[in-house]
Amino acid sequence: MKFFNTNIDEVKIIEPKICSDSRGYFFEAFQSNIFNDNGITETFVQDNEVQSKQGVLRGLHYQLKKPQGKLVRVITGSIIDVAVDVRLGSPTFSQYQLVKLTAENRKMFYIPPGFAHGYLVLSNNSIVIYKCTNTYDPDDEYGIKWDDNEIGINWKNKDPILSKRDENLPLLKNQKFLPKF
């Protein structure tokens, strides 16, 4: 497994070692000691799977009382995945890291607790799976508008398919509750 640093120290892109032959392929998607050796020391406690169609944008979401770090990968299709630093006092506050995750490239994206997360589906269909470092609590979910100019994410889609909730999320400057660095 190869771990790549990004412009935000805590956010990582991971490329697994793929073993392929005429039968198919195999790779280790997670091994705690290798992740620990590369600075990802959180314990993962929940796995999620999400199916979406092309043009769906999910996010930008974060939690406060039960912040979730996430290890994201795509098993069908392709997405643009984004982590935004929303930790008050962080030197990289409001900066983001974007990565294209596909079933073919098998890259993984580690988003630490304290970051907002979102993704846009590029393919006709996608299945995204991700490990979380905390359990989901619907009463502890917050979000930021996907096209916030202060953040400036270039999604390359001006009219994504959004949930009603995501359509009405506030801008970063209007957030009343943000995690601290």
Active site residues: 61, 130
DSSP the chain: -EEEE-SSTT-EEEEPPPEEETTEEE--S--HHHHHHTT--PPP-EEEEEEEETTBEEEEEEESSS---EEEEEEESEEEEEEEE--BT-TTTT-EEEEEEETTT--EEEE-TTEEEEEEE-SSEEEEEEEESS---GGGEEE--TT-TTT----S-SS-B--HHHHTPPPGGG-S---B-
Structure tokens at 100: 């294209």
Interatomic CA distance for residues 77 and 175, integer angstroms: 33
